[in-house]
């Protein structure tokens, strides 16, 4: 089932489940945030500039939604009634991308162009922590089971870990040029990630052990990943017009999307237990497991 949320040039990118039981999306090309109910009702909210590039969105500890603004280097916040505000990152041209609520009551985010991880409090105070990389392109970030944040280093071919004090560890991937992007905490308390360059799904335990699982189609360009409520993870195959599921033992099942060339990006498990996928064509697809 698919629901139109915008015109085909708006670019639905990331999706998350909000505290109000609705789905919230970023429209990266339109500079807007959208809200979608499970019945298909849509509301959209313009940001202060149409070219700010809203990317990843996540619920915050303050019952608002927080998101990165990749193009104008700001962190955005939207309340459930659609009121928005934003905060500039201290480092110019930082390119914030991934974002997640941390174990310390703050939001943590990646700065793709600055080799830094950022932290913002709910009142807008930002701190930045440098990474031991040069051009590492930190991308997605998630909260781990160990009260630390785990993130992908897309161009450094590694997975990083940062604790709330700013201490960083980096784990190199076995496959060269794997290009990790999305990452999530699995139901097995390991971190699961996708390798867009290698066509693989990866798993890293909190002690740094890494396993990799090749997809049937290595050119599928896996992009985002989210934990399934029961077992394993769901992921998008941006280059193959599919979503996939990987079990905790590495078994992979794939599902074709109904609209050709829809370019699936972010995905989330909705309040109805379905998997919701943001499609570049301006739609959201709901697929029941």
Listed by start position, the domains of the chain span: 2-287
| 39 carries a ligand binding annotation | no
Q: Compute the average pLDDT of residues 169-193.
A: 97
Phi first, then psi: what are they for 37, rounded to 5°?
-85, 165
Superfamily of domain 2-287 in CATH is: YVTN repeat-like/Quinoprotein amine dehydrogenase (2.130.10.10)
Catalytic residue among 29, 73, 245, 265: 265
pLDDT at 75: 98
Examine the residue annotation and report whether 288 is marked as an active-site residue of this protein.
no
Q: Which residue has the tokens 């991880």?
A: 117
Cβ atoms of 262 and 279 closer than 8 Å? yes
| 223 carries a ligand binding annotation | yes
Query: For residue range 29-58, what is the model confidence (pLDDT) as tens digits?
Result: 999 999 999 999 999 999 999 999 999 999
| Whole-structure pTM value | 0.97
pLDDT tops 90 at residue 124: yes
Q: Which residues contact 223 (CB under 8 A, 6 or more apart)?
A: 181, 182, 194, 196, 235, 236, 237, 238, 264, 265, 266
- What is the separation of C-alpha 110 from the centre of its chain, rounded to a whole number of angstroms? 11
| 195 carries a ligand binding annotation | no
pLDDT confidence tier of residue 203, bands split at 50, 70 and 90: very high
């Amino acid at each position: 089932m698919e629901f139109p949320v915008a015109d085909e040039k708006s670019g639905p990118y990331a999706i998350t489940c909000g505290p109000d039981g609705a789905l919230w999306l970023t429209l990266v090309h339109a500079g807007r945030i959208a809200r979608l109910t499970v019945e298909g009702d849509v509301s959209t909210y313009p940001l202060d500039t149409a070219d700010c590039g809203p990317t990843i969105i996540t619920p915050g500890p303050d019952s608002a939604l927080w998101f990165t603004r990749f193009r104008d280097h700001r962190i955005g916040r939207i309340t459930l009634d659609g009121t928005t505000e934003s905060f500039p990152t201290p480092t110019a041209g930082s390119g914030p991308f991934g974002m997640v609520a941390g174990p310390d009551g703050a939001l943590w985010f990646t700065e793709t162009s600055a080799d830094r991880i950022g932290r913002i409090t709910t009142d807008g105070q930002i701190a930045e922590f440098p990474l031991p990389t040069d051009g590492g392109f930190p991308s997605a970030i998630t909260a781990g089971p160990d009260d630390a944040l785990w993130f992908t280093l897309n161009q450094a071919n590694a997975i990083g870990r940062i604790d709330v004090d700013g201490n960083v560890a980096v784990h190199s991937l076995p496959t060269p040029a794997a290009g990790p992007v999305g990452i999530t905490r699995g139901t097995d308390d390991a971190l699961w990630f996708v390798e867009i360059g290698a066509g693989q799904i990866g798993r890293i335990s909190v002690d740094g052990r890494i396993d990799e699982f090749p997809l049937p189609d290595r050119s599928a360009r896996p992009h985002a990943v989210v934990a399934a409520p029961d077992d394993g993870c769901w992921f998008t195959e941006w280059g193959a017009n599919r979503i996939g599921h990987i079990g905790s033992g590495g078994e992979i099942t794939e599902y074709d999307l109904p609209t050709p060339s829809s370019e699936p990006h972010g995905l989330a498990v909705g309040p109805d237990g379905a998997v919701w996928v943001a499609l570049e064509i301006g739609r959201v697809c709901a697929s029941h497991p």
